[in-house]
Amino acid sequence: MSKALAAWFLVAAAAASPAVTPRDVVQGAVARVIATLEDAKLPGEALNGSRPNADRVRIEIRRIATDLFDFEEIARRALSRHWAGRTRAEQTEFTSLFTDLLERSYVGKIESYSGEKIVYTGEVVDGTYATVRSRIITRRRTDTALDYRMHEIDGRWKVYDVLIDGVSFVSTYRSEFNRVIQSSSYDELVERLRKKRIDVLAVSGKS
């Protein structure tokens, strides 16, 4: 096959392939996380058994989360009006500290997954913004609404907020951060985030 013909087939295949939708992105990421957890449950690979395996699983989940979430945008929205007054160095440090907090929370919740059913109920796209709606159904038939707010950046759909039963994840942190800044200072907020990181590293080192 000539190079020109091979190139034509590649272009034709790309044109025929459906565009990746926001729902595709979320569903694919969640499926990868579940597959990672299921692999860890294989004989001899228990998540709470071998520490090297537990670390491997957490690293993989964090990698998937980094692909799915726009952590800088989440940090900017959570800090809200206090973001603009910060230097670029301060914004970078805050994003790093907040990302650590979010990743620990995300990994902790994911590790408690025990076979709940995830149903995707809809997708709304408005230009470069979208919402992917889903529900988590437990074995007891209780369910939780989980909506992902996304935006398109550099040609990729990424999550900038999650709503749990209608409550915004970002808004919850925004209220908490604003309360600390108003009652004390921005420096105090950053110091608290630093302390949480140090405490977690200390606990990890003892495990």
pLDDT in tens, 66-76: 999 999 999 99
pLDDT in tens, 94-112: 999 999 888 887 777 776 7
Neighbours of 202 (CB within 10 A): 9
DSSP single-letter state for residue 17: S
Residue 46 CA to residue 144 CA, distance in Å, equals 27
Residue 121 CA to residue 132 CA, distance in Å, equals 8
Higher pLDDT, 41 or 23: 23
Of 96, 71, 67, nearest to 170 (Cα)?
71
Residue 159's pLDDT band (boundaries 50, 70, 90)?
very high
Residue 201's pLDDT band (boundaries 50, 70, 90)?
low
- Asked if residue 126 has pLDDT above 90, the reply is yes
Residue 132 CA to residue 149 CA, distance in Å, equals 7
| DSSP, residue by residue, 26-61 | HHHHHHHHHHHHHHHTSTT--TTS-HHHHHHHHHHH
Q: Could you give all domains of the chain from N- to C-terminal order, each with its CATH number?
A: 16-206 (3.10.450.710)
- Which pTM value belongs to this model? 0.80
Residue 89's pLDDT band (boundaries 50, 70, 90)?
very high
